[in-house]
Protein backbone atom coordinates (compact mmCIF):
# COMPACT_ATOMS: atom_id res chain seq x y z
CA UNK A 1 0.00 0.00 0.00
CA UNK A 2 1.10 3.56 -0.54
CA UNK A 3 2.39 5.47 2.46
CA UNK A 4 -0.07 5.49 5.35
CA UNK A 5 -0.35 6.50 8.99
CA UNK A 6 -0.59 4.07 11.88
CA UNK A 7 -4.23 4.13 13.02
CA UNK A 8 -5.47 5.34 9.62
CA UNK A 9 -8.81 3.87 8.53
CA UNK A 10 -9.57 3.17 4.88
CA UNK A 11 -12.42 1.64 2.94
CA UNK A 12 -11.39 -1.66 1.41
CA UNK A 13 -13.30 -3.46 -1.37
CA UNK A 14 -11.54 -6.82 -1.21
CA UNK A 15 -12.04 -9.81 1.06
CA UNK A 16 -8.29 -10.21 1.84
CA UNK A 17 -6.88 -7.65 4.27
CA UNK A 18 -3.35 -6.35 3.56
CA UNK A 19 -0.51 -7.16 5.97
CA UNK A 20 -0.29 -4.66 8.84
CA UNK A 21 -4.00 -3.87 8.60
CA UNK A 22 -7.04 -5.29 10.44
CA UNK A 23 -10.79 -5.10 9.93
CA UNK A 24 -12.57 -2.42 11.95
CA UNK A 25 -14.66 -5.08 13.67
CA UNK A 26 -14.21 -4.30 17.36
CA UNK A 27 -11.50 -6.95 17.80
CA UNK A 28 -9.45 -6.83 20.98
CA UNK A 29 -5.69 -6.39 20.50
CA UNK A 30 -2.90 -6.99 23.00
CA UNK A 31 -1.41 -3.73 24.32
CA UNK A 32 2.14 -5.16 24.41
CA UNK A 33 1.97 -6.39 20.80
CA UNK A 34 0.36 -3.22 19.39
CA UNK A 35 1.88 -0.66 21.76
CA UNK A 36 2.34 2.08 19.12
CA UNK A 37 -1.31 1.87 18.02
CA UNK A 38 -2.39 1.76 21.67
CA UNK A 39 -0.61 5.07 22.31
CA UNK A 40 -2.76 6.61 19.56
CA UNK A 41 -6.25 5.24 20.28
CA UNK A 42 -6.00 3.79 23.81
CA UNK A 43 -9.31 2.38 25.03
CA UNK A 44 -11.44 4.87 23.07
CA UNK A 45 -13.29 1.98 21.40
CA UNK A 46 -13.40 -0.34 24.40
CA UNK A 47 -11.35 -2.78 26.46
CA UNK A 48 -11.92 -5.75 28.74
CA UNK A 49 -8.73 -5.47 30.81
CA UNK A 50 -5.55 -3.42 31.23
CA UNK A 51 -3.86 -5.78 28.74
CA UNK A 52 -6.06 -5.15 25.69
CA UNK A 53 -7.87 -2.49 23.70
CA UNK A 54 -10.57 -2.63 21.02
CA UNK A 55 -10.41 -1.55 17.42
CA UNK A 56 -13.26 0.62 16.15
CA UNK A 57 -16.28 -1.49 15.15
CA UNK A 58 -17.69 -0.16 11.88
CA UNK A 59 -19.69 -3.29 11.00
CA UNK A 60 -23.16 -2.12 10.01
CA UNK A 61 -22.34 1.47 11.03
CA UNK A 62 -21.70 4.78 9.34
CA UNK A 63 -18.68 6.82 10.34
CA UNK A 64 -19.56 10.28 11.73
CA UNK A 65 -17.07 13.08 12.32
CA UNK A 66 -16.21 13.99 15.90
CA UNK A 67 -17.48 17.28 17.30
CA UNK A 68 -20.55 19.42 16.76
CA UNK A 69 -21.48 21.00 13.45
CA UNK A 70 -23.60 24.18 13.40
CA UNK A 71 -27.07 23.35 14.71
CA UNK A 72 -26.18 19.65 15.14
CA UNK A 73 -25.82 17.29 18.08
CA UNK A 74 -22.28 16.86 19.47
CA UNK A 75 -20.54 13.52 18.81
CA UNK A 76 -17.66 12.26 20.97
CA UNK A 77 -14.83 10.14 19.59
CA UNK A 78 -15.62 6.44 20.05
CA UNK A 79 -19.31 6.95 20.84
CA UNK A 80 -21.80 4.76 18.99
CA UNK A 81 -25.32 5.91 18.19
CA UNK A 82 -28.34 5.46 16.00
CA UNK A 83 -30.80 2.63 15.55
CA UNK A 84 -31.36 0.31 12.64
CA UNK A 85 -35.08 -0.03 13.41
CA UNK A 86 -37.39 2.45 15.12
CA UNK A 87 -40.88 2.16 16.60
CA UNK A 88 -42.57 5.56 16.38
CA UNK A 89 -44.70 6.73 19.27
CA UNK A 90 -47.64 9.12 19.01
CA UNK A 91 -45.43 11.76 20.67
CA UNK A 92 -43.12 11.65 17.61
CA UNK A 93 -45.87 12.13 15.04
CA UNK A 94 -47.00 15.68 14.25
CA UNK A 95 -50.41 16.56 15.64
CA UNK A 96 -53.23 16.56 13.12
CA UNK A 97 -57.00 16.33 12.95
CA UNK A 98 -59.53 14.81 10.59
CA UNK A 99 -62.91 16.49 10.22
CA UNK A 100 -65.63 13.86 10.43
CA UNK A 101 -69.17 14.71 9.40
CA UNK A 102 -72.01 12.65 10.83
CA UNK A 103 -75.73 12.94 11.34
CA UNK A 104 -78.19 11.27 13.67
CA UNK A 105 -80.70 10.79 10.85
CA UNK A 106 -81.06 7.38 9.27
CA UNK A 107 -78.75 6.49 6.43
CA UNK A 108 -80.03 6.58 2.85
CA UNK A 109 -77.05 5.24 0.86
CA UNK A 110 -74.78 2.20 0.79
CA UNK A 111 -71.88 3.94 -0.95
CA UNK A 112 -70.25 7.19 0.18
CA UNK A 113 -70.33 10.09 -2.25
CA UNK A 114 -69.07 13.67 -2.36
CA UNK A 115 -71.97 14.94 -0.24
CA UNK A 116 -72.25 11.91 2.07
CA UNK A 117 -71.71 11.82 5.82
CA UNK A 118 -71.79 9.02 8.35
CA UNK A 119 -75.34 8.41 9.39
CA UNK A 120 -77.32 6.70 12.11
CA UNK A 121 -77.39 3.08 10.98
CA UNK A 122 -80.22 0.69 11.80
CA UNK A 123 -80.25 -0.59 8.23
CA UNK A 124 -77.31 -1.55 6.03
CA UNK A 125 -77.12 2.06 4.76
CA UNK A 126 -74.43 3.85 6.80
CA UNK A 127 -74.32 7.07 4.74
CA UNK A 128 -76.70 9.97 4.32
CA UNK A 129 -76.67 12.71 1.69
CA UNK A 130 -76.75 16.25 3.06
CA UNK A 131 -76.51 19.70 1.57
CA UNK A 132 -73.51 21.93 2.24
CA UNK A 133 -75.69 24.09 4.50
CA UNK A 134 -76.69 21.19 6.74
CA UNK A 135 -74.40 21.08 9.80
CA UNK A 136 -73.43 17.78 11.36
CA UNK A 137 -75.65 17.10 14.35
CA UNK A 138 -74.29 13.95 15.99
CA UNK A 139 -71.38 13.29 18.30
CA UNK A 140 -69.06 10.46 17.30
CA UNK A 141 -68.51 7.52 19.59
CA UNK A 142 -65.00 7.47 21.08
CA UNK A 143 -64.73 3.85 19.90
CA UNK A 144 -64.92 5.09 16.29
CA UNK A 145 -61.93 7.37 16.82
CA UNK A 146 -59.34 4.97 18.19
CA UNK A 147 -55.66 5.05 17.27
CA UNK A 148 -54.35 2.92 14.47
CA UNK A 149 -51.00 1.28 13.79
CA UNK A 150 -49.26 -1.96 14.53
CA UNK A 151 -46.62 -0.64 16.96
CA UNK A 152 -44.00 -2.42 14.84
CA UNK A 153 -40.50 -1.12 14.08
CA UNK A 154 -39.78 0.29 10.65
CA UNK A 155 -36.43 0.13 8.90
CA UNK A 156 -34.40 3.28 9.49
CA UNK A 157 -31.44 2.49 7.18
CA UNK A 158 -30.67 4.62 4.16
CA UNK A 159 -29.69 2.95 0.88
CA UNK A 160 -26.16 1.66 1.30
CA UNK A 161 -23.36 -0.44 -0.15
CA UNK A 162 -21.49 -2.85 2.10
CA UNK A 163 -17.71 -2.41 2.11
CA UNK A 164 -14.93 -3.21 4.60
CA UNK A 165 -13.27 -0.63 6.79
CA UNK A 166 -9.67 -1.46 7.70
CA UNK A 167 -7.26 0.15 10.15
CA UNK A 168 -3.46 0.26 9.99
CA UNK A 169 -2.24 -1.59 13.10
CA UNK A 170 1.47 -2.04 12.24
CA UNK A 171 3.98 -0.21 10.09
CA UNK A 172 3.07 3.10 8.58
CA UNK A 173 4.07 6.53 9.76
CA UNK A 174 3.56 7.46 13.39
CA UNK A 175 1.53 10.71 13.31
CA UNK A 176 3.19 13.74 14.88
CA UNK A 177 0.97 16.29 16.62
CA UNK A 178 0.05 19.33 14.53
CATH number of the structural domain spanning residue 41:
3.90.1340.10
Q: Is residue 148 part of a domain?
A: no
Residues 132-150 pLDDT 10s: 555 555 555 666 666 667 7
Q: Which residue has the higher pLDDT, 132 or 41?
A: 41
In terms of pTM, does the model score above 0.85?
no
Whether 1 and 56 map to the same domain: the answer is yes
CA–CA distance, 5 with 120 (Å, rounded to integer): 77
Residue of 172 and 140 predicted with greater confidence = 172
Residues 14 and 47 in one domain: yes
Domain contains 145: no
DSSP state of 142: G
Residues 12 and 16: their CA atoms lie apart, in Å, by 9
Report the alpha-carbon distance of residue 122 to residue 120 in Å, rounded. Answer: 7
Residue 92 φ/ψ, nearest 5 degrees: -95, -5
Same domain, 52 and 16: yes
Domain hosting residue 116, numbered range: 102-139
Residue 149 lies in a domain: no
- Are 117 and 127 in contact, with CB atoms under 8 Å apart? yes
Which letter does DSSP use for residue 36 in this model?
A: H
Is position 117 within any domain? yes
Same domain as 1, residue 59 = yes
Is the residue at 8 inside a domain?
yes
Residue 71 falls inside a structural domain: no
- Same domain membership, residue 169 and residue 135: no
User: In the chain, how many domains are there?
Assistant: 2
Residue 54: strand pairing partners:
28
Local structure of 143: helix, strand or coil: helix
What lies within 8 Å, CB to CB, of 161 at 6+ separation is none
pLDDT digits (tens, 9 = 90+) for 88-114: 888 888 887 777 777 777 777 777 776
* Residue 126 and residue 168 in one domain: no
Residue 29 lies in a domain: yes
Do 59 and 108 have their domain in common?
no
Assess if residue 152 is contained within a domain. Answer: no
The answer on 58 and 10 residing in a single domain is yes
Lowest mean pLDDT among 2-6, 14-18, 82-86: 82-86
Amino acid sequence: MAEYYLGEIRMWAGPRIPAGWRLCDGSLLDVATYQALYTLIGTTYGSTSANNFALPDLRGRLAVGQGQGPGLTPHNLGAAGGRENVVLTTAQIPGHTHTIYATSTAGTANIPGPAAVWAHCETPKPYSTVTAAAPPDAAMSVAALTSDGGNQPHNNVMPSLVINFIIAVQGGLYPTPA
